[in-house]
Amino acid sequence: MSEPRDLPEYLLDLEPSAFTVIRLDGRGFTRRTAAYDRPFDPRFHEAMRVATEDLLDETPALFAHTASDEVSLVFRPGEDWFGYRAPKWLSVCAGVASSSLTRAMTLLDGPVSVDAKAFRAATEAEVLEYLDDRARSSYRNMVNGRCHYALLAEGLSAGAAQRANAAMSPVERAAFVPPDAPGWERVGAILGYTQVDHVGIDPRSGARVPTVRRVATWFEPLDFGGVRDVAATLLADRDR
């Protein structure tokens, strides 16, 4: 029998000097979420919010963006979590998201699983570019989904609705979007930390002591510019 080879424990390490983005996507959610309303169900979005909050609690992520069945976690440079070992980051994030969604999705048909990918962003500008891309993808999916299900409601078959959708211009598709469609449906929502003034009590003297707490806060921008503005603010405040 040959001697065992020295194989690397991990196939990929992250770059400490760069931002890291972990993107989590639902696996087989079309089948698992059949009981939810289409194309958008506030109950499903609430489950995604719960999972995003759990991810921010369980990881050192700076902030997160969620849209549809996707969550992107942004980590600051120099975040020495598990020694920059990418497989560990990916497996922990996917495990937290899968277990959280399985608990939170009350109309679920079987257990949920998500996959995870790692992206490297050298600068704040690249992080903002990435999030702009995800927001625009969310908007395209929202418009297509609204259009498709409206055509189904008019009596078209799935195939005919898909063909009619493809033949429309972007302006024609956008006409199917309700004016009051919420921001989370259009471009997603962002969960980050904000600084809140707080007055504590010194247990020894009983004196009131002003402090500052970091509080997880939801932001729901209505457009691409709003996503960029919120993310830019959270990036700028990352060392506070």
Of the pLDDT bands very low, low, confident and very high (cuts 50, 70, 90), residue 198 is low
Q: Which CATH number does the domain housing residue 71 bear?
A: 3.30.70.3000
Phi, psi of 163 (to 5 degrees): -70, -40
Is 4 within a domain?
Answer: no
**Number of domains, the chain:** 1
Is 99 within a domain?
Answer: yes
CA 240 to chain centre: 23
Is 110 within a domain?
Answer: yes
Is 148 within a domain?
Answer: no
Is 129 within a domain?
Answer: yes
Is 8 within a domain?
Answer: no
Global confidence as pTM: 0.86
Is 64 within a domain?
Answer: yes
Q: Distance between CA 39 and CA 231 in Å, rounded?
A: 27
Is 85 within a domain?
Answer: yes
Read off the pLDDT of residues 95-153 as tens digits, 9 standing for 90 and up: 999 999 988 887 767 778 899 999 999 999 999 999 999 999 999 999 999 999 899 99
Read off the pLDDT of residues 146-177 as tens digits, 9 standing for 90 and up: 999 899 999 999 999 899 989 999 889 889 99
CA 38 to chain centre: 20
Read off the pLDDT of residues 12-31 as tens digits, 9 standing for 90 and up: 578 899 999 999 998 877 77
Domain of 128, in residue numbers: 19-140+183-236
